[in-house]
Amino acid sequence: MVLVFPYGSVPLKTYLPDGDIDLTALSCQNIEDGLVSDVRAVLHGEEINEAAEYEVKDVRFIDAEVKLVDQLVAKDHLFKRSIILIKAWCYYESRVLGAHHGLISTYALETLVLYIFHQFHVSLDAEVPENGGNTLLTEEFIRSCVESFSVPSRGSDLNLRAFPQKHLNIIDPLKENNNLGRSVNKGM
């Protein structure tokens, strides 16, 4: 059995009018390789189907190693509104958003925004954490997210890989050796 769900900007409701719809597929591990090509074939079929209920265009497969954690951080959707504002500026004004173009990925941008809320929540009109600490997210909460949402790398030696240095270095909070800035190239 295979289940396909939207993730990222769409369910979080932080998408832009020109944004994409990210999908994730859950299946048994032994059918994973064929699943990608099957889902891509279905989407490409809808892309050329003029009678399709929804317009599908520019289908791309990005072999991402990231997992998303959506968490309401502040009052009146301040975290979501901040992501939308910063994404809009990055996409429309500065032209730095778009991993498939050698630019920063949406997940990397959201991680940076989450870091700002984590470190500077008091001055951002966010709720004061119950733990009384200086950071918004507790070590216990972060550890729980890593345990719940991280997927181990394939192969035994992949977990021991060093963090790959690139032109933009952003540590994935769910996987310390995953550089979220790896898609950014020097030319862009």
What's the whole-model pTM score?
0.64
Residue 127's identity, in one-letter code, is E
What is the model's pLDDT at position 41? 87
- The answer to whether 70 and 12 have CB atoms below 8 angstroms apart is yes
The ranges assigned to domains in the chain are 3-48, 75-179
For 97, what's the count of Cα atoms within 13 Å in the CB-facing half-sphere? 22
pLDDT at 110 > cutoff 70: yes
pLDDT digits (tens, 9 = 90+) for 23-68: 766 666 566 667 777 878 888 899 999 998 888 887 877 665 544 4
What average pLDDT score do residues 7-36 get? 72
Q: What is the distance between the alpha carbons of residues 168 and 111, in angstroms, rounded to a whole number?
A: 13
pLDDT at 73 > cutoff 60: no
Classify residue 93 by its DSSP letter.
Answer: I
For residue 95, give Cα distances in angstroms to 71, 88, 91, 102, 149: 26, 9, 5, 11, 30
